[in-house]
Amino acid sequence: MMLRIAMINFLFGFFQLDKGLSHHTAPNLKWLKKSLGFIFLISLFASCLSKKDSEIEGIVYKTKNGFGYRVIVHDQLLINQDFIPAIQENVPFCDSIEAAAACHLVIQKIKRNEMPTLTLKDLSTLKIKTKC
C-alpha cells in the first residue's frame, strides 16, 4: 500500500515537470508521461490480481520428531498439520521438503476451491515416506 502511494506521489510530481519547458521537448515528455502512466496502471492492476495469492500462505516448521506445515488464509490459521494426513498413525513428515510439497498441494486445492484434504494417492504421487 505504501509503495502504491509513493508511486502515485512520484508520478504526480513527474507530470508537473513540463511546466516551463520549450515546445521542442514537450512532445517527447508527453510520450514519456503516457508510457509511464500506462506502465503504472498495468503494475497496479497486476498487484491487485496477485493479492489473492498472497492471502494464502504456507509455513513449514520443525516438530519434535520431524516436520509439519500450516496454511494461513487471510491472516487466519486454517490448517495446522503436525502429522502426515491420510494415514492412521501420528507420523510427522520426515523432512521439510516433503512437508513443503504436501503444503503446496493443499494450497493448490484451496485455490481451486477443492477440499484441502490429502489422500493416500496424493501422498504416493508426492513420494512422501510414511516411515523415516
Specify the pLDDT at position 35.
60
70 strand-pairing partners? 59, 80
Predicted TM-score (pTM) above 0.95: no
Please name which of 64, 61, 55 lies closest in space to residue 110, comparing C-alpha atoms: 55
Specify the pLDDT at position 67.
98
Cβ–Cβ under 8 Å, residues 68 and 93 = yes
What digits encode the pLDDT tens for the residues 20-56?
A: 555 565 566 666 566 655 564 455 445 444 445 569 9
Specify the pLDDT at position 33.
60
Domain residue ranges in the chain: 2-53, 56-125
